[in-house]
Structures are given as C-alpha cells and as structure tokens.
Amino acid sequence: MNRHFQSRWAVALRSVDWRRRDVRDALALAAALTAIWVASGYFELPSKLLRFAADHADWKVDELLFAVAILSAALLIYLYRRRRELAAEVTLRRSAQERLNRRKQDLDAAVDHMPQGLVMYDRSARLVICNKRYAEMYGLPPEMTTPGHSLESIVAYRIKAAGLTTDARAMAKAIQDTVRVGKPWRAILELADGRSIDIITTPLRNGGWVATHEDITERRRAERHLRRTETLLISVIENVPAVITMKDTRSLKYLFVNKAGEKYFGLPRSQMIGSAAHDLFPPEAADLIAGADKEVLASGRELFAREYLVNGADGRQRVVNERRLPIRDDKGDLQCLLSVIADVTDAKWTETA
C-alpha cells in the first residue's frame, strides 16, 4: 500500500510543469509556511507569543486590530497584484496561441494549394506531412497520408497504383541512400499511365528530407512536339533546292548553310559556318555580299535582288535571284540575317525557248 502511494506521488510530480510561474509561487509559499512551522517549533514561538501577550495585556484592542488591518491590507494588495499578473500572463499566452494557430492555418492552406505535390519524411523514413496535391497525384487514401507511415509502404502503394513492377523495398532503399549523401537530387518518373513526374528531393539537417512532385506531362508532350517540329523543319530546309543561309547580325559570319548551299558555293558547311564572306570568297564577290547584308540591316526591311549572273561550282554561269530578310524576336531585336537564293536558270531557258 505504501509503495503504491509513493508510485502515485511520483507520477503526479513528473506530470507537473515546473516552469509555470504559478507552480513556482505555490512551491515558494509552501516552503515559507514549512519554514515558519519548523522555526516556531524549534524556537518555541507559540509559548513565547503567549508570554508576550500576557506581559503586554495593557495594549488596547483597537491598536491590535489596526495592526491586523494593516497586515491584511498588505496581503490583499499582494493578492490583487498577483491576480492581475496571472490574468495578463494568461491573456498573453492565449494571444500567442491564437497567432500560432492562425499561422499554422495559413501555412496549411498554402501547402495544400501548391501546384506541386509536397511530402516530408523524418530520418527514420516515416511520413511527417504531405499535401493534398501529393495524395491526388498518386491516389493515396486518407489513411496513408497520416504521419508515421513508412516510405516503403507508400512507395509500394504508388507502384501498385501505377501498374509498375518495381521492387518497393529496393526503391525505398535507393531513395534513402541518395538522401544520405546530403545533396539535392532530381529525377523524372515515367508512370505506366503516360504521366511524367518531376521529383526534386532536398535533404534536411535532421536526417529527413522534403520532396516536391510536379506533373510535367503536358510540358513533356509540348517538348516532344517541338522536337518533332524542329526535326521536320530541318528536314525540309535541308532538302529544298533553294540555298538557305543564316548569318550573325554583328559579325556577318555564317551560322547555318543547308545542303543546297554547299553545292551552290562549292564549299563544305563545316568550312563556311563561323566564317564571313571575306574569309571564303574573292574580294569582289565578298564586297558585294557584305554590302547587301549591311544594306538590309541598316534599312530593317527585306531586300530582293531580282536576278543576277553568278559562276556556279561547275564553272557555268547561272541566273539566280536572292532575298535577304532580318529576323527579329518578340521584342523587335535583331537575331540573325536570313538569305534565300533560288537558281532560276532552267526557268529562264524555258521562257526563252
């Protein structure tokens, strides 16, 4: 019975918040009363007080009452001030808690309205928090979004839901091993349903990590479409019979020459790209080319030279017409100078015939 009583007292003492001011005040009052009780017993204060009262029986009652009233007033003043202090302390704590709750609500709202999925794990690879977007991306049920779930269990559910055959334990271990390196890493996860997820993981100092998951499916489709369009465009440019070249607007050096251009100029494009007209052609021809280029850039308009004769790579004279066009970006700044040269010799012979 005595041991059970001591155990209950020990539990009660451990549950007390000794940092609270009212608890400290109660302890101080209890200690003061205990000290007075011990001192009164040690110094025989009760008997001495009785003798003092007997020796001063001539004291008036009103004087004694006045002294008691002064002590009572002092005690009441102390209790009133202490009550005000406690009320102010409670108000301050309540206000701080309300501000903390509002900030938490704002943070939760911001996290849940992120366009990316957000997830955080602790150093034991246990879920700390994830937002709604993350749960929606992988179809996680509500019970799997509560803190404490293991990374392996969540990965296993994601793999199963995505229709993949990846080993969940191996994948979870690979993620943890990467996090232990201590450096951010990025990967793109291709799901069986055709979605592409861009995952950026950042290790934390406490051994855990936070990761964002962004659905980039539409972006990847747009990139693939752009690559196909570029490939098709390059194929068309490479195989048209007209000569197509692009030059830098400052140095007037060739940036691009198609196959027809190699044949027309009689030079490989590896030699032409990065070189200006004066590096490739005789001075007279180079002066004509550079002069026409500068004229177009100065005017900012398309320049169309109707027809002129040139000596082809086979030594025969050819009739060509040429168009030069400055290419600008969305802001109107010059990007390059486009030149298109068409050999119209055969068409001329047909007209004369």
CATH number at residue 347: 3.30.450.20
Are residues 215 and 131 in contact, defined by beta-carbon separation less than 8 angstroms? no
Nearest to 190 by CA among 219, 209, 215, 155: 215
Whether 262 is covered by a domain: the verdict is yes
Query: Does residue 48 or residue 175 have the better pLDDT?
Result: 175
Token pair, residue 194, equals 């055709």
Q: Is 248 helix (H, G, I), strand (E, B) or coil?
A: coil
Tens of pLDDT, residues 182-210: 888 888 888 888 889 999 999 998 889 99
Residues 279 and 310 in one domain: yes
Whether 81 is covered by a domain: the verdict is yes
Number of domains in the chain: 3
Whether 229 is covered by a domain: the verdict is no
Q: CA 137, CA 192: separation in Å to the nearest integer?
A: 13
Looking at residue 266, what is its pLDDT? 85
Q: Which amino acid is at 278?
A: H
Residues 85 and 154 in one domain: no
Tens of pLDDT, residues 234-293: 888 888 888 999 999 999 999 999 998 898 888 898 999 999 999 998 888 889 889 888
Tens of pLDDT, residues 98-150: 887 777 776 767 777 788 899 999 999 999 989 999 998 888 998 888 999 99
DSSP 150: B
Torsion, CA 73, CA 78, CA 80, CA 85, rounded to 10: 170
In the predicted model, is pLDDT for residue 296 greater than 80? yes
Residues 189 and 247 in one domain: no
Whether 25 is covered by a domain: the verdict is yes
Looking at residue 320, what is its pLDDT? 79
Q: For the stretch 115-141, what's the b/e string if a residue is b when 16 or more beta carbons lie within 10 angstroms of its beta carbon?
A: ebbbbbbbeebebeebbebbbebbebe
Region of residue 274 (left: phi > 0; alpha: psi -120 to 50; beta: else): left
Q: What percent of the chain has pLDDT over 70?
A: 73
Whether 58 is covered by a domain: the verdict is yes
Residues 346 and 248 in one domain: yes
Q: Which amino acid is at 205?
A: R
Range of weakest confidence among 245-249, 292-296, 301-305, 322-326: 301-305
Q: Which domain holds residue 270?
A: 240-352
Are residues 317 and 301 in contact, defined by beta-carbon separation less than 8 angstroms? no
Residues 88 and 123 in one domain: no
Residues 336 and 244 in one domain: yes
In the predicted model, is pLDDT for residue 5 greater than 50? no
